[in-house]
Amino acid sequence: MTATTDGSPGTPTHRTPSASSASDPDPVPSGDAEAAAQRAVQRAADHLLARQHPDGWWKGDLETNVTMDAEDLLLRQFLGIQDARTTAASARWIRSQQREDGAWPTFHGGPGDLSATVEAYVALRLAGDDPDEAHMALAAKWSRGEGGVAASRVFTRIWLALFGWWDWDDLPELPPEVIYLPKWMPLNIYSFGCWARQTIVPLTVVGALRPVRPAPFGIDELHVDPARPNPKQRRAPITSWDGVFQRLDQVLHVYRRFSPRPVRRSAMNACARWIIERQEADGCWGGIQPPAVYSVIALHLLGYDLDHPVLKAGLDSLDRFAVWPQEDVRMIEACQSPVWDTCLATIALADAGLPADHPALVKAADWMLAEQITRPGDWSVQRPQLAPGGWAFEFHNDNYPDIDDTAEVVLALRRVAHPDQARVDTAVDRAVRWTVGMQSRNGAWGAFDADNTSPFPNRLPFCDFGEVIDPPSADVTAHVVEMLAALGVENDPHARSGIDWLLAEQEENGSWFGRWGVNYIYGTGSAVPALAAAGLPADHPAIRRAVGWLESVQNSDGGWGEDLRSYSDQEWAGRGHSTASQTAWALMALLAAGRRDTPAVERGVRWLAETQLPDGSWDEPYFTGTGFPRDFSINYHLYRMVFPLTALGRYARSEPFGAAGHTVSAAAGKGA
């Protein structure tokens, strides 16, 4: 069992450098920050180069929380395809993540989470753990103290309903007929973020059919009152949005009883077609595990046999989300990040001084060029006339390229001296046109869709599993602005509107909110380099305020860190254990702001150099990536490599914006 502590936002506990780092046979004098940076850069670059796949890409493990592992075991139980080795290996991983108080957190060092604990508990019971065992009894007691199963999230109770542990009538309703709503109507499927719509469409089928495959045991021990497992929630006033949507849910429950059967069957068939049309070449859906799981269940319930090519490919794809840290331990990734990791690794190595025509960089560029998406996806519902040209996050995800990856891939490609420069220029031009075309009306950019800002999806009682819309964010907008500035078109109207939006979104304390990374350090570490690259001087008020905030939250050990609880509690903003990736983000911002030769930067550089491991990597158990703020957190295992290398490389080479580029997009020069 792994013990964790919650710490305190006012006094973050600082991790001391690993003992192994002290055994470096040739340490750099601690007073020489430049020499320390150069040594660290060389070792980190060597380590990163050694991790490149022969095909040219990089991919680190993507660690989330045990709900992925628990739901994988629940799926196998539901379909009747469990096997002893997989079950035992997954159970070992789940047990290893339990806190001393019996709960499971959703991120390293975080507090216990009720839904994660309930799902982990039932998965371990399926794996054979007895409820009287100490770790199970502790988990059940903790769960009851938090309100029991009735207080868990909707998706957890959907899983329990599949096995008869929860009543389908006591779950929010969302009918499959939602597939018929036109895009101009509220709550049509395209008003949800792409990750949510891929999950919701198959779940409407599951909820309509309400299957129950009874489990071999009960879970009364997880209920506060087993006789009344779902005390009715007090309804909000009809004058409030919550009250309106609670009553809408009641109407949908009534509609379920009286809905015309032909209409219901037709809607479920339409959902099945929608799901199958979006299956990727590797059998997955959207390159992420949850929609794949629910799509497999929905299609199976509609009569697709497990040997059907669609389901067989889907099940095979799920096995590719499995990581085996040890021979007898199995962890499930929620997603895989090869495009993101590869473009960031390319930028890091180029900024570290690797020659622009180095074979590793050329091979990475070739792989990225081959991954560009040249066919329309769901984004084209809002932009039907826009030509495709983006990149996705994963190996296979042609339906959902994202703007963040596309901007960073362009920045990476510009750092490579490719033998076929015309091919690179064509790809960059296509990408810039697509990215600019995905700009939202307010001048900023979201991750996957344009103007995905409806206030209604988050109000549905069904949608309590995290963020379900994709509004523009500071970090994505900053990366696009940085890309446009690198192409020399920072004065283009598209870039200027993005800059204006960023300036308006700056927090009072000088930071920016980080949607896809933790949190204000990530947002600020993205915004400052973009604004500086776009021409804002170091004495601009926005830059000065950002610098002041970053320097004010530097930890006493010289690093920077921020706990995920900053998404809910401002006391945690900019505060937490020092981490390699967050220290790098802060350094990248300070370097871009012209603060290279300051004590804050020197102390940050020294912290990175002193905590580097002998193999050139860094240890980073803390989660610094964000799936959904407050609900779903990510530890990208390559972040601890690529971002420190980028920051140290820029410091050592005195290039605050990284290596100079090699291409300029003609299309971008014409305003895309």
User: Rounded distance, CA 391 to CA 428, Å?
Assistant: 11
Q: State how far the alpha carbon of 387 is from the alpha carbons of 43, 485, 494, 495, in Å.
A: 42, 22, 17, 20
Helices (H) and strands (E) in the chain, counts: 23, 5
Q: Give me the phi and psi of 634, to 5 degrees please.
A: -135, 140
182, 186, 163, 147: which is closest to 297 by C-alpha? 163
The DSSP secondary structure of 180-239, one letter per residue, reads GS-TTSTT-GGGS-HHHHHHHHHHHHHHHH------SS--GGG-SSTTSSSPPPPPPPTT
User: Rounded distance, CA 506 to CA 501, Å?
Assistant: 9
The sign of the dihedral angle between the CA atoms of 568, 574, 577, 580 is positive
Q: How many CB atoms lie within 10 A of CB 668?
A: 25
494, 514, 487: which is closest to 665 by C-alpha? 487
Question: Measured at the alpha carbon of residue 258, what is the angle toward residues 255 and 259, in degrees to the nearest 5?
Answer: 70
The two tokens of residue 618 are: 């860094």
The two tokens of residue 535 are: 């021409």
User: Rounded distance, CA 422 to CA 362, Å?
Assistant: 14
DSSP 8-state secondary structure symbol assigned to residue 389: -
Question: Measured at the alpha carbon of residue 215, what is the angle toward residues 214 and 221, in degrees to the nearest 5?
Answer: 120
User: Rounded distance, CA 406 to CA 510, Å?
Assistant: 27
Cα 325 → chain centroid: 21
User: Rounded distance, CA 359 to CA 23, Å?
Assistant: 33
Name beta bridge partners: 563: none
The two tokens of residue 305 are: 């046999």
376, 371, 385, 369: which is closest to 426 by C-alpha? 369
Answer whether 282's CB lies under 8 Å from 396's CB. Answer: yes
| Pairing mode, strands 632-636 and 62-63 | antiparallel
The two tokens of residue 13 are: 């506990």
Answer whether 611's CB lies under 8 Å from 7's CB. Answer: no
Cα 277 → chain centroid: 24
Q: Just list the catalytic residues.
A: 404
Answer whether 64's CB lies under 8 Å from 334's CB. Answer: yes
The two tokens of residue 405 are: 């990856």
634, 36, 30, 665: which is closest to 337 by C-alpha? 634
* Three-state SS sequence of 67-89: HHHHHHHHHHHHHCCCCHHHHHH
The two tokens of residue 14 are: 């600082």
Answer whether 669's CB lies under 8 Å from 491's CB. Answer: no
User: Rounded distance, CA 346 to CA 52, Å?
Assistant: 10
Burial class (CB in 10 A: 0-12, 13-18, 19+), 146: middle
User: Rounded distance, CA 119 to CA 71, Å?
Assistant: 7
Answer whether 335's CB lies under 8 Å from 62's CB. Answer: yes
